[in-house]
Amino acid sequence: MGRILEQRYPDAHCELDFQNPFQLLVATVMSAQTTDVRVNGVTPILFARYPDARALAGADRTEVETIIQPTGFFRAKTDSLLKLAAALVENFDGQVPGRLKDLVTLPGVGRKTANVVLGNAFGVPGITVDTHFGRLVRRFGWTDEEDPVKVEHAVGALFPRKDWTQLSHVLIFHGRRTCHARRPACGACPVARLCPSYGVGETDPDKAQALLRTAPRG
C-alpha cells in the first residue's frame, strides 16, 4: 500500500512554506486547528517583521496577535510563540536544535511538531502522526492504536527508517485529497483492493472521482 501511494503522490511534501528550521518550527506550531493554507498566508508578514528567535522573543504581543489572527486561537498561539522564541534564545542561543529530545523541551512542541521539523528541515527521518495520518493507518489496518506516540512506533516498525518522513507526506496527501474523514472517495482510491475499510465511503467510481481534491482547502 505504501508503494502504491508513493506512486500516486510522487510530489508529496510538507505544505507549510519555510526557508529555515526556525520558520518551519513557528509555522508548525501555528498550524494547530487550522489549515496550512491559512498559515502560509500570514507567515510572510510574520517573518518579515520577526525573522529569527531573538526578534520574536522581543515582539509586541498585540502586533503578533494581529498578524496571526486569521489562523484562529491567535491569543493562545501568540503566547506559545513568544514562550517558544524565549526558550530558543535562553536554552539554544536562538537556534532550533536538531535533536528530538531537545525539541520536545520547547514550549508548545510535542513529538508531532518535532518530527515535522526534523524530517523537513534537518533531514532526520521521523513520522508525523497528525489527524490524517492516524485516521488512515487505522483504516488501513496497520495499527489499532489511538495514542499518537504508539501509532508512531507501530507504523515505524513496518517501514524502513529512511522512508518515515516521505511516508508521512504521502499519507497526509492521501488523507487530504482522497481518504477524507467524513466521505472518503473509496471508488477512486489506488489502494481500494487492499484496504480493509473499503466501502466506508463512496464506491461508485464517478461519484468518488468528484470527491477528489487536487489541493487542500483554505
Predicted confidence (pLDDT) per residue in 48-88, tens digit: 999 999 999 999 999 999 999 999 999 999 999 999 999 99
Is the residue at 166 inside a domain?
Answer: yes
- Grid cell 511516508 is found at 167
Per-residue confidence (pLDDT) for residue 216, from 0 to 100: 62
Residues annotated as part of the active site:
112, 130
- Model's pTM, two decimal places? 0.93
> Count of domains in the chain?
2
| Domain hosting residue 108, numbered range | 21-121
Is the residue at 92 inside a domain?
Answer: yes
Could you tell me which residues come within 8 angstroms of residue 29 by beta carbon, excluding any fewer than 6 positions away?
Answer: 77, 80, 81, 84, 108, 109, 113
Cβ atoms < 10 Å from Cβ of 182: 5
Is the residue at 16 inside a domain?
Answer: no
Is the residue at 152 inside a domain?
Answer: yes
Contact 113, 119 (CB under 8 A): no
By C-alpha distance, which of 73, 51, 78, 77 is closest to 63?
78
Is the residue at 53 inside a domain?
Answer: yes
